[in-house]
Structures are given as structure tokens and as C-alpha cells.
Amino acid sequence: MNFAIIGATGNVGRKTIEVLEKSNLEIENLYLVASQKSAGAKLNFKGKEIKVEQLEKYDFSKAEITIFAAGSEISKKWAPLAAKKTIVIDNSKYFRMEKNVPLVVAEVNSGDLKNHQNIISNPNCSTIQLLVALKPLHDEYKIKRVIVSTYQAVSGAGKKQVDELFHQTKNHLDGKKIKSENFTKQIAFNLIPHIDSFVEDGYTKEEWKMEHETKKILGDSIGVSATCVRVPVKTSHSESVNIEFEREYELKMVRKLLENAPGCKVVDEHKDGGYMTPLEAEGDYLTFVSRIRKDHSNNKALNMWIVSDNLLKGAALNTVQIVECIIKNSKI
């Protein structure tokens, strides 16, 4: 089978190449596509150099499945055209809330893929890891409400932002003046409670995405309140989550459900270091859950800590898992 990656030279594009290389997918040809600026570059895949093609000149009929990893504007313009000739899996936010476009977390709602019309959307990175942990609990106890605060790594914003974090950190340690170019305020040694643009009610679009994507995937009955914060961490998003169920629960059962959930691993020892951090999650395919404990203010609620690599499970890995689900359940 033939595959293509649009935006192959970016953070998510490169991670997608890595995940495809480690997968068991039978890949006859892999076409790497990017902007005119990046066209002509060569990237490695399974020991071979592949020349990056220019998007404007690329023939979408060459691949049965095409992964878009180039941002909303590119997806808006090119994905509908591509979908006439290939199945599109899109990492951008552009199609996520479209009624006829499945929004899929592989371990959560892969059944929705049967209704696709050649465009499938990958959820927001923070939504993905949240739902990997919420799904088994929702199936058992039915979730009434979720309050989530995110601590999101700069790699979720892009390569320029990662470079700026390193540059700002060096300047701070050298006692030099810091100028913020890709952030609203200094990110080094700081936190910024602002991701994406603001909407009229005071929330940001990132927070809006977490709320509405969760509802689209798990159902409108779940209440979601999110606060999204950018932190001076290179990779892996973390989330502090409070979950209220429709009925009382057993903590032992919650742990058992999470331990048995696909894509999820519980690391929760009540001792120094008995939990996961962003640094430890980087490069791992799993979503980690720690600090599972009762909410003493509400006998139907609990708290937990969720960590996952935002470039892997939050983007490239989930995309490839969607591909695997499509192939498994179709005649492609």
C-alpha cells in the first residue's frame, strides 16, 4: 500500500515518519510532501532517502492513504481536493467539529470510522490523552463532569517555539535581556495561561476544543471545564483532572479499569517519585495515569494526573493507529 505525508518536514510530520517506520504496516511507497521551501530535502525512511515533493505539484492519486500534518490553512485548501483521490487523516483542527467527519481516538471510538467520507480528523493532543483515560471510567460509571487543567509543552506550538524556549533559557542564565517573539510573554522559567486565541466568553480556543471535542466523542451529557497553560517543557503534556461520576465508585475498581484500558498505564505509588512526569513520558506510546485519589469534597468524584507525549499519542501515533484501524476493517 502507498502512503503520503503532507507536511513531512515539520515536527509532527517527522514523528509520523518515525511511527510508520516502527509499525507493522506494509508500506510499498511513502511519499513525503511539503511546501516549496522544503521541497527537495531528503528524509530517511527504513534506510532509504526519500526526496520531499512540492505540495502544489503533488499528485494525490499516488497514495491510498494521506496524512496531513501541515496546519489548518493547508488542510482547508488541500484536504478536500485530496479526499477525491485518497483517504485523508488530518491532524489540524479544521475539520474536527464537522458533522460528517469522524473525530477519532483509536482506543476510544474507532467504530466511528465506518462512517467516514474520506476525511478523518485527529483530535487535539490534550483531548486525546484525556479521553484515553476517561473512556473506561465513563463506560463503567458514566461521567457527569470533568474539570481539567493542562500543562502543555512548547512542542505543541511548533519548532519555532521549542527553539525560542531554549534561546530564552540560555539568555536568562547568561543574564541577558529576553525578548518574546513566538509567545505572548516570556516562557523560560514561567507559565502562560493562554493557548490559542481568546473567544468572547473569556475562554481560549484550546479550552473550547477540549470541551467540544470531548462531547463529540463521548457524548453531549458530559460537562467539561478546561484551563490550558503553556509550560517551559519541551515535550509531553500533563493534565490535572477532577472527574465527577453519576454515582459513587470504588477506587480499587477505578485503578483496575485504568490498568486494563488499552493504551493506558497506571504509575501510582504513594511514595517519592511514584508518579510520571513529562520528561519520563517523552518517546513513549502510552498514556500514563498517576496520583489517583478520592475527592474528599465529593464522594462521587476523584482526582488524577495524566501525562503523555504530545507529538506521539497526541498526534503522530494516534494518526497511524487510525490508519491501522481503517486497514483492519476495510478492503483497501
The 10s digit of each residue's pLDDT in 317-329 is 999 999 999 998 8
Q: Over 80: is that where the pLDDT of 118 sits?
A: yes
Nearest to 153 by CA among 169, 142, 165: 165
For the domain 127-310, what is the CATH code? 3.30.360.10
Where residue 307 falls among pLDDT bands split at 50, 70, 90? Answer: very high
Is pLDDT above 60 for 274? yes
> What is the per-residue pLDDT for 51?
97
Catalytic residue, chosen from 116, 138, 228, 237, is: 237
Question: Which regions of 11-90 does DSSP assign to beta strands (E)?
Answer: 29-34, 42-45, 48-51, 53-54, 65-68, 87-90
Residue 127 has pLDDT above 60, yes or no: yes
More confident of the two residues 332 and 279: 279
Burial of 21 (0-12, 13-18, 19+ CB in 10 A): middle
Cβ partners under 8 Å of residue 34, min gap 6: 6, 7, 8, 9, 10, 13, 41, 52, 53, 54, 55, 70
pLDDT digits 0-9 by tens, 33-61: 999 999 999 999 999 999 999 999 999 99
The residues facing 90 across adjacent strands are 68, 121
Q: What is the structure's pLDDT at 329? A: 82
Closest among 67, 76, 63, 83 to 10, alpha carbons compared: 67
Q: Which fold, 2-123+315-328?
A: Rossmann fold (3.40.50)
pLDDT exceeds cutoff 80 at 290 = yes
Name the residue ranges covered by the structural domains of the chain.
Answer: 2-123+315-328, 127-310
Q: Is 125 a catalytic residue?
A: yes
In this predicted structure, the answer to whether residue 115 has a pLDDT above a threshold of 90 is: no
The per-residue pLDDT for 330 is: 76
**pLDDT bucket at 332, cuts 50 / 70 / 90:** low
Please state the rounded mean pLDDT for residues 146-173.
96
Residues 139 and 142: their CA atoms lie apart, in Å, by 6
Query: pLDDT, tens digit, for every residue of 204-263?
Result: 999 999 999 999 999 999 999 999 999 999 999 999 999 999 999 999 999 999 999 999
What confidence tens digit (pLDDT) does each residue in 175-188 have? 999 999 999 999 99
Question: Which has the closest alpha carbon to 101: 87, 111, 115?
Answer: 115
Lowest average pLDDT, out of 9-13, 190-194, 243-247, goes to: 9-13
Residue 67 has pLDDT above 90, yes or no: yes
Check for a shared fold between 2-123+315-328 and 127-310: no
| Catalytic residue of the set 116, 125, 138, 228 | 125
Is-catalytic flag, 264? no
Share of the chain above pLDDT 70, in %: 99
pLDDT of residue 192: 98
User: What Å distances lie between residue 232 and 176, 185, 279, CA to CA?
Assistant: 18, 12, 12
Instruction: State yes or no: pLDDT of 126 exceeds 70.
Output: yes
